[in-house]
A and B are shown apart, each in its own frame.
Chain A
Amino acid sequence: MNFEVYHQLGHNSVWNLESLQNEGCGDGVILSPRNMERSKVEKLPLTIKNKAMFDPQFFNPHRINEQMTSYGFYPQSVTPGGYNTKQFPAFSSICAEKCIKFQEENAFKFLTIPTQYIKSSTPIDTLIDHQNKYFINPFLEILKKANSNKELIVQIILTREMIKNPESSSQLLNWITGIDGIKGVYLITESKSDNKQINDPDYLYSLLNIVNALSENELITILGYQNTEAMLLSLANPSIVTIGTYFNVRSFDYSRDYENMGEEKDMKQPKPRVYIPSLLDWIDFVFIQAMNRKIPNFKKLLGENKYTDEMLSPSYKISSIKTPYKHFFVEGSKQLRNIGSLKIEDRYVELNSIMESAVDRFTALEEIGFVLGGCGSHLPSWLTAANLFAADQGWRK
């Protein structure tokens, strides 16, 4: 089954929207109230809204920022004194009602039930009780009365420990698949990887199994905050994967991005990196120019599009990050669409081939003299996770 590619919107979402509307990159968007205030969302054209999922982002109900205040459905707008763990259940239905009303009025593709980020140290039973009491049940009650025909999605955040612990992940899967009335899950996973690319094969293999279980339960499975690992996770038959710009929309990190929301210092401009599809990795831009000099037909490796021409032009300003991101939308979404068009078993064969070629290319680059640090170091872990998963599915002959 083919999957869709959605833009995970964050800062400078105008680039994503341009890419979606003008270049056909992607199939929809996931809206972020943290980055886009209410009136801006309301003004989006219906053509975007009908293909959008709105994530209410109740990750940290204690804190919201200025943009989120404009929505009026967070505890800070509803309960006296803001969010309070003891008080909130009395007001949760009001938040739910306002949040659902906003989503319905804007004709998004799905209706999303939010849940909170819960630390790994919390017992799973307690986590489930909390999410049911504070979010899922109040929202389901309101939705019963609303009688909407939209598909209902529940947003769930899984931490690294929850994913890697078989008992925890089973408990969570039993719970998620037992929630009555939902059609899908918007899964946000926190890998806490030391590197830009996830290189823990056990984590990746466990996550593949979780996504597969959700998909086998015929739940629409939306994988948020994806980096290049969306390619790998395509083996587990998700319904939607995401692509994004800055690293904070290509990876989820609660303590980095949400724990102290509203107190953020000015964002440092990230170093420009360029996605090279045949390497399955992002490479610092400065190396691109050297590669262009040293590697014959380098443009083909980078992907032939107008952004490649722009970046390889001698007059190009390397400080720009817009063009590399636009290049990623073109090449990244193309790569995902290609793999998505294949039957699941064939995806494994193709992905294996891409990963092994990428390993060979990194070796070739090293032999030429390129020292790219940790770039490409994630590939053995990905190959391992893919092979283990494929073996379970009976695809390895």
Chain B
Amino acid sequence: MVFATEKEMVEVIKGSDYIKKITCPGPCVIEDEVCGYFGIPDFVIVKKTHKKSVSFAFEAKLSNWNRALTQAFRYKAFVNKSYVIMDHDKVKPALLNTEKFSRSNIGLLSIENSGKVHIHYNPRQESPFSPQLEEKFNAEFKL
């Protein structure tokens, strides 16, 4: 069954086991709709692992994977890993273009109403491509 709104989808994602695995254990921050960087991700996560922080950005879209990819790519300016999350019932068109996701190193996930997350592409961790935005982001979300 499809999600009615992106907001609904975002709430289900944030409560999913997948996100719980990222956020637990250890200190982390989840923040919705962070502004002032490059684009506005639906939510970001900053997770402290060992001595370093790893940052994640998520762009949720019901169906327009192309637009989601463009936006998610912008978030790589200030986070280490950026993802597109789609409604599992509508992810097929995106799955026909996974090479675009792998080329740009953007994660592709899809989620069912039950909260089950399917991982179609898991991105490599990379340094954000804007050192200034990375510095600003890390200062805002210091753990």
Contact = CB atoms under 8 A, between A and B. Distances in A.
State if A and B touch, Cβ cutoff 8 Å.
yes
Contacts of B133: 286, 318
A371 B38 contact: no
A317 interface: yes
B101 to A, nearest CB: 9
User: Range of interface residues on chain A?
Assistant: 10 to 19
Interface of A: 284, 286-287, 289-290, 293, 314, 316-318, 366-373
A373 B70 CA distance: 5
For the complex of A and B, 10 pairs with smallest distance between CB atoms:
A290-B129, A371-B73, A373-B70, A286-B77, A369-B104, A286-B130, A369-B103, A286-B38, A371-B104, A289-B130
Given A371-B69, A371-B104, A373-B70, A318 B129 contact: no
Contacts of B76: 290
A366 B76 CA distance: 15
A371 B66 CA distance: 10
Contacts of B73: 370-372
Contacts of A317: 132
Contacts of B129: 286-287, 289-290, 293
Contacts of B70: 371-373
A369 to B, nearest CB: 4
Contacts of A370: 73, 104
Nearest to B67: A373
B106 interface: yes
Interface string B62-77: 0000000110111011
A316 to B, nearest CB: 8
Contacts of A369: 103-105
A371 B67 CA distance: 10
A369 B130 CA distance: 16
B81 to A, nearest CB: 14
B86 to A, nearest CB: 16
A314 B134 CA distance: 12
Nearest to A371: B73
B131 interface: yes
A3 B133 CA distance: 41
Nearest to A317: B132
Contacts, number: 43
A370 B131 CA distance: 17
A289 B69 contact: no
Interface in B95-120: 100, 103-106
Contact of A367 (B77, B103, B130): B103
Contacts of A373: 70
Contact of B132 (A318, A366, A368): A318
A81 to B, nearest CB: 45
Given A284-B38, A284-B74, 15 more contacts: A286-B38, A286-B133, A289-B129, A289-B130, A290-B76, A290-B130, A314-B131, A317-B132, A318-B130, A318-B132, A370-B104, A371-B69, A371-B73, A371-B106, A372-B70
6 contacts: A286-B74, A286-B77, A290-B77, A367-B103, A370-B73, A372-B70
Interface in B120-143: 129-133
Nearest to B102: A369
A372 B74 CA distance: 8
Given A369-B104, A369-B105, A371-B106, A289 B131 contact: yes
B57 to A, nearest CB: 13
B108 to A, nearest CB: 13
A375 B129 CA distance: 18
Contacts of A293: 129
A290 B82 CA distance: 15
B74 to A, nearest CB: 7
Contacts of B104: 369-371
A87 B54 CA distance: 69
A99 B141 CA distance: 57
B103 A366 contact: yes
Contacts of A372: 70, 73
Contacts of B69: 371
A290 B133 CA distance: 12
A369 B106 CA distance: 9
Nearest to B69: A371
Contacts of B74: 284, 286
